[in-house]
Amino acid sequence: MGTSSSYGGNKDKKNLLPDDYSENSNQPVSWQSVKTGLSKYINGNGGNGIKGTARQYVKAAGGSAALAARSTNGINGAVNIGNMFSSIRENGVIETFERFGIEYAGKSVEEICSSLIKM
């Protein structure tokens, strides 16, 4: 059987594509549009919703693979902080700071915290 002109198609007229689908879905997304979309969502002024905003964020970051590859810096930083706290528990603050090369003598708490961030 072939197609028939007597069949008018689905009667509910619902779109098969999501509301946020765009013919230009392969277009790059700017960080400004992500920021604007998130601000609109937070303020209740529309936007693409949280899913649409997250989708835009991933696209603006260069895709999920690029985003995951860049997240290794954050993971490594968290591991370093965990290692430092573990060392403080096992060896004490002074020995840990010396091991990690953190200069603490004569420095304020703010200066020490700043050097921890740069670790």
The ranges assigned to domains in the chain are 29-60, 72-119
When pLDDT is cut at 50, 70 and 90, the band that residue 34 belongs to is confident
CA atoms of 48 and 54, how far apart (whole Å):
9
29: left (phi over 0), alpha (psi -120 to 50) or beta: beta
Confidence (pLDDT) at 90: 93
Residue 95 and residue 88 in contact, taking contact as beta carbons nearer than 8 Å: no
Confidence (pLDDT) at 95: 93
55: Cβ contacts below 8 Å, ≥ 6 apart? 20, 48
Mean pLDDT of 55-84: 84
Structure tokens at 60: 């603006």
Least-confidence region, from 3-12, 22-31, 50-59: 3-12
- Closest C-alpha among 77, 22, 31, 79 to residue 58: 31
Mean pLDDT of 35-47: 80
Instruction: Tell me, yes or no, if the pTM score tops 0.85.
Output: no
- For the cut 90, the answer to whether the pLDDT of residue 91 exceeds it is yes
